[in-house]
Amino acid sequence: MRATKRRRSAAVSRDSFLSAVDLFCGAGGLTHGLMQAGIKVEAGIDVDPQAEYAYRSNNPGAVFLQWDLGSKNCRSIAQLFRPGAIRLMAGCAPCQPFSKLTNGAGTHEAWDLLDNFGRFVRGILPDLVMMENVPELADRGEGVFGRFVNTLRRCGYYTDWRVVRCEEYGVPQARRRLVLLGSRIGEITVPEGSNGLRSQPRTVRQAIGALKPLASGQEDPGDSLHAAVRLTSQNLRRIRATPHDGGTWKHWPKSLVLPCHRRATGRSYSSIYGRMWWDRPAPTMTTLCTGLGNGRFGHPEQDRAITLREAALLQSFPRAYEFWPPEETLNRKAVGRMIGNAVPPRLARALGEALVSHLGRRTISARAWG
């Protein structure tokens, strides 16, 4: 992977009255959005060592800690906050146990991570709490989400949670997420998207339309994340047979249709191998979104699947965001996992701004830190 020189995002001011710790931080999407909202993030914690470069490179001033939170006590987390500041504990516990794409969720190794989040809240009592996860958590969490909310309420937090549509917060992607905010300071509400239902959301064209055109297997010389996976000859025939701007496999000749799609049970899965629409938000980015057969991840008009860079932009990461050390061979699977699992920075920024607004001038002056 070649090094590319890009302008880094400005660091948040050191005199921020809010001190945050990001649990399960991954590549730093949540941290990045909070910093854009003016919140000082002290540290990001994640068990994945492959996330360290992305987190540290794009979020100046925040320390990356490769910790297994299941083995940490409350004191180790509490000492990360800046003394005297208003404390925000934020995070997105890995969502695999709750996702509708996961089978056997009850035995998943990450099942207890939200309980650990609750354990830290109970033991530390931060002033503010932010949690983001998949919508299925509320329905399939088998009591995990209910325990988390009850923990907050027993500890004196006002809470509000809802399932939000990320495209209403400026994310060029149709992504639904469960968001919870908690405050020991006063009543709090999850903000409505600034776009609202009356405004046009950001589109695929706006997010990736200016990138260098690529063919299957081709790479942008200036950005190795903007590299298209080389398609097999059969899949190349399939994408060429798919009409531009929203076409699907239902437009293919019979010789190209997969056996699973010929069965009655497979006919409703029209998005598989489909192209995105230029002037709509993208579908939900997943960890496998650069694979043509994993969803509607075909480019609107170029004969290929989307690239890692395009996936990151559709998640609302800045164009300059770096995910992998330039001196190392790019690990596409690791970067795809980081992008697909990330909290969209634009959503995180909107939530961070809501917390700043929630505190207000009276609270800031009352809790001013030295």
350 lies in the same domain as 273: no
138: enclosing H helix or E strand: helix 137-140
Whether 148 and 230 map to the same domain: the answer is: no
Assess whether 95 carries a catalytic annotation: yes
pTM of the model: 0.90
Contact 183, 128 (CB under 8 A): yes
Same domain, 43 and 32: yes
Q: Do 311 and 357 reside in the same domain of the chain?
A: no
Domain-located, residue 143: yes
Residue 213 placed within a domain: yes
Q: Please check whether residues 318 and 350 belong to one and the same domain.
A: no
Q: State the CATH number of the domain containing residue 358.
A: 3.40.50.150
Same domain? 238 vs 182 = no
d(CA 281, CA 201): 7
Residue 193 included in any domain? yes
188 and 209 share one domain: no
User: What tens digit of pLDDT does each residue of 321-336 get?
Assistant: 999 999 999 999 999 9
**Do 175 and 311 belong to one domain?**
no
31-35, 265-269, 327-331: the lowest-pLDDT one:
265-269
Helix (H, G, I), strand (E, B) or coil at 289: coil
pLDDT tens readout for residues 138-186 = 876 568 899 999 999 999 999 999 999 999 999 999 999 999 999 999 9
Q: Are residues 249 and 145 in the same domain?
A: no
Domain assignment present for 9: no
Residue 6 domain-assigned? no
> Domain of 277: which CATH number?
3.90.120.10
- Catalytic residue (one of 95, 166, 260, 289): 95
Average pLDDT (296-303) is 98
What pLDDT, in 10s, does the model give residues 213-261? 999 999 999 999 999 999 999 999 999 999 999 999 999 999 999 887 6
Distance separating alpha carbons of residues 356 and 34, to the nearest angstrom: 10
Residue indicated by tokens 């409703």: 268
Q: Which has the closest alpha carbon to 78: 107, 120, 132?
A: 120
- Round to whole Å and give the CA distance between 113 and 95: 9
pLDDT above 70: residue 107: no
Burial of 228 (0-12, 13-18, 19+ CB in 10 A): buried
Specify the higher pLDDT residue, 288 or 271.
Answer: 288
Instruction: Give the whole-number percent of the chain exceeding pLDDT 90.
Output: 76
**Residue 93 pLDDT > 90:** no
Is the CB of residue 165 less than 8 Å from the CB of residue 193?
A: yes
Q: How does residue 200 score in pLDDT terms, banded at 50, 70 and 90?
A: confident
Q: What is the mean pLDDT of residues 84-109?
A: 66
Do 228 and 180 reside in the same domain of the chain?
no
Per-residue pLDDT at 204 exceeds 70: yes
Q: Give 195's pLDDT tier (boundaries 50, 70, 90).
A: low
Report which residue type is found at 226.
H
Model pLDDT, residue 369? 38
Same domain, 178 and 39: yes
Residue 4 counted as domain residue: no
Range of the domain at 66: 18-197+344-366
Alpha-carbon distance of 343 to 349, in angstroms, equals 10
Q: Taking a C-beta distance cutoff of 8 angstroms, is the pair 321, 328 a contact?
A: no
Burial 276-300 (b: 16+ CB within 10 A, else e): bbbebbbbbbbbebbbbeebbbbbb
Query: What DSSP string runs through 222-257?
Result: TEEEEEPPPPPHHHHHHHHTSPTTT--GGGS-GGGS
With 0-12 / 13-18 / 19 or more C-beta atoms within 10 angstroms meaning exposed / middle / buried, residue 366 is: exposed
Report if residue 2 sits inside a domain: no
Domain-located, residue 349:
yes
Shared domain check, 275 and 190: no
Number of domains in the chain: 2
